[in-house]
Amino acid sequence: MTKTLSQTINDGEFILAPGVYDLISALVADRMGFNALYMTGYGAVASYLGLPDAGIATYRDMVERAGRIAMMTKTPLIADADTGYGGLLNVAYTVKGYEQAGVAAIQLEDQEVPKKCGHTPNRKVVPLDEMLRKIDVAVDSRSSDEFLIIARTDSRTGLGLDEAIKRGKAFKEAGADIVFIEALESKEEMQQVNTEITGPTLANMVEGGATPILSKDELKELGYNIGIFPGAGFLAAGAALENVYEDLLENGRTTERSTLYPFEEFNKLIGFPDVWKFDEKYAGS
């Protein structure tokens, strides 16, 4: 039986979660043996709408995507829920909706609306008291303590490390299960966060972002419990697509330059064998 995220954390096991953004990425990652998946807001919005992660996607957009990924995978899913998509009542419905959709942990942040990707400039945060009320509502709105609340602050970039740590401590005291301080700028800052904040913490490893990219073992040594790599999947997919389409354009066909997933294996990945079994049983094919 698959462990819950809280069981994994309580057992002292580090959670390494790749970013998934659609069903193909989720199905591939689900087969790999990770102990969690992370539905990236940036990737999901880019994949679904072709737009930047700038507060454009709605609750309905995101809960539908999260629910479909959770339904089609066995690995516990951590899902980005931005600011909760509105005021306190919206936060309550967002938490209930994500939990009912089968998500294992929800991530809520303290940015002003419209929010922006945590590794882009010009982000602003709401007053601390406002975020603490959101956490209070989120904790009260879940039906099970196994559904984890991840509270993220984006205050490091604009207000400094001391304010970010202050907020992280307050988030924990307000009932957040996991504290996430976004866009830390050095390994020393990451160490300081884990020295001063008690309880589980999450590190965001964004290739090309503000925070140094560290390994699972390095993150665990610093005191982190969770490491997410939200952009690795869609950045790799973008590079692979650009390569294969250039190959096709330049050569009129795909060549050995293009690394392709075997068609037979892809059929298995998305479930065609079940369709064929159904046809054999009911359609006489």
Statement to judge: residues 208 and 258 lie in one domain: no
CB 85 within 8 A of CB 94: yes
Strands (E), 104-254: 105-109, 148-153, 178-181, 201-204, 226-229
Q: pTM of this prediction?
A: 0.95
Question: Facing residues of 203 across strands?
Answer: 227
Statement to judge: residues 93 and 203 lie in one domain: yes
Statement to judge: residues 85 and 183 lie in one domain: yes
Statement to judge: residues 73 and 155 lie in one domain: yes
Statement to judge: residues 268 and 174 lie in one domain: no
The predicted model gives 160-184 an average pLDDT of 97
CB 160 within 8 A of CB 192: no
Statement to judge: residues 146 and 271 lie in one domain: no
Statement to judge: residues 272 and 204 lie in one domain: no
Residue 285 has pLDDT above 70, yes or no: no
Residue 20 has pLDDT above 60, yes or no: yes
Which residue type is seen at 48? Y
SS3 199: coil
Per-residue pLDDT tens digits for 28-64: 999 999 999 999 999 999 999 999 999 899 999 999 9
Q: Which domain covers residue 50, as residue numbers?
A: 5-231
Statement to judge: residues 15 and 142 lie in one domain: yes
Domain count, the chain: 2
Per-residue pLDDT tens digits for 209-247: 999 999 999 999 999 999 999 999 999 999 999 999 999
Question: Facing residues of 106 across strands?
Answer: 79, 149
Assign residue 136 the CATH number of its domain. Answer: 3.20.20.60
Statement to judge: residues 219 and 252 lie in one domain: no
Statement to judge: residues 164 and 79 lie in one domain: yes
% of the chain beyond a pLDDT of 90: 93
Statement to judge: residues 101 and 120 lie in one domain: yes
pLDDT of 3 reads 81
Which residue type is seen at 87? G
How many angstroms separate the Cα of 119 from the Cα of each of 53, 83, 110, 177, 255? 11, 16, 14, 23, 36
Residues 78 and 106: their CA atoms lie apart, in Å, by 6
Statement to judge: residues 66 and 129 lie in one domain: yes
